Structure 1
Amino acid sequence: MAEIYISIGSNVDRERHFKNGLAALIDHFPNYKHSNVYESEPVGFNGRNFYNSVFAANTKMGVEEVCKLLKKIERDNGRTPGDKKFSPRTLDLDLLLYDDLICEQPAQLPRDEISKNAFVLLPLSEVGGHVALPTTGESISSLWENYHNPNQKLWKVEL
């Protein structure tokens, strides 16, 4: 069984798409942990605020199968292939960690933005604080404790 961590984000009809994405993940991974949900400003473009969280589960699926499933869930929620990196999203599901796998394909693992974005790191620390990044050995909790970027603000929301 692989331990996986998936970031969830939406800023287009965000409550509906966020809830739909979370429900689809729960359908496929019924034994899970889910962080709090946070609202954050977009990074890299002007637009509506995002809802973000992190979903943790164990799976027998291979990494390629997990990535294909995440893309399917995104498409089922109106995401179109080839969207620009810094643009509005109906649903954005990113595989952050798959056990201690380090790779670039089918996804960058561990995901580079873990240590760069508060909207990823804080919720990841809630459900996977004990996990060490396979690239550095530093724990997610330690990364969050040492994180400082006053430009990235988060607000906890109830959905």
Structure 2
Amino acid sequence: MALIFISLGSNVEREKHTRAGLDALYEVFGLLQLSSLYESEAVGFDGSAFFNMVISAHTQLSVEEVVATLKTIERQNGRLHGDKKFAPRTLDLDLLLYDDLVQANPVELPRAEIIHNAFVLWPLAELAPQRCHPIAQTSYQQLWQDYNKDSQKLWKVDFNWKPSL
């Protein structure tokens, strides 16, 4: 079984789509470990604030199957593919890590935004502080400690989720 980490983001009906995304992930992967939920300013475009979090789960699915599953869940939540990169999102699910796999295709692993975006790094450091980035060979806790926290603003949001299945 592979240990996977997924980022979840939404800035359109944020609570509704965050809960729907978590329910769908639970349906596919079963037990989920969740970071705190964070609110952050939109990065790369002017838009409403995002909710972001990181989720870990175990799976027997391949990388390709996980990515296809995430895209299906996004579509089921009104995400239109082909949208521009920096735009509002009902639900954005990205595979960040698949064990310690390093690859470029069919999806980049580890995902580059881990070390560039506070809204990914902080929740990942919270969820897996001692785990090491497979390329940087540095723990996520240390990467977060060294991160320039003035570059992106985010804050924790009260949030409780239980599967509604």
Amino acid of the structure 2 residue aligned with 1:119: F
What residue in structure 1 maps to residue 36 of structure 2?
36
Give the Cα separation in 2 of the matches to 1:32 and 1:115: 23
How far did residue 61 of structure 1 move? 0.7
**Deviation of residue 55 (structure 1)?**
0.2
Please tell me the residue identity of whatever aligns with 2:145.
E
Q: Give runs of aligned pairs for residues 8-157 of structure 1, distance below 5 A.
A: 8-157=8-157
Distance 2:25 2:32 in 1: 9
CA distance in 2 between partners of 1:2 and 1:131 (Å): 14
**What secondary structure does 1:95 align onto?**
strand
- How many Å apart are 1:150 and its aligned residue? 0.6
TM-score when normalising by structure 2: 0.93
Q: Quick one: which amino acid aligns to residue 125 of structure 1?
A: A
* TM-score under structure 1 length normalisation: 0.97
Distance 2:151 2:134 in 1: 27
Query: Secondary structure of 1:129's partner?
Result: coil
Gaps of 5+ in 2: 160-165
The alpha carbon displacement at 1:39 in A equals 0.3
Please give the alpha-carbon distance, in whole angstroms, between the structure 1 residues aligned to 2:47 and 2:82: 19
Length, aligned pairs only: 159
The separation in 2 between residues aligned to 1:127 and 1:149, in whole angstroms, is 18
Superposition RMSD on alpha carbons, in Å?
0.9
| Runs of 4+ more than 3 Å apart | none
SS at match of 1:6: strand
SS, match of residue 125 in structure 1 = helix
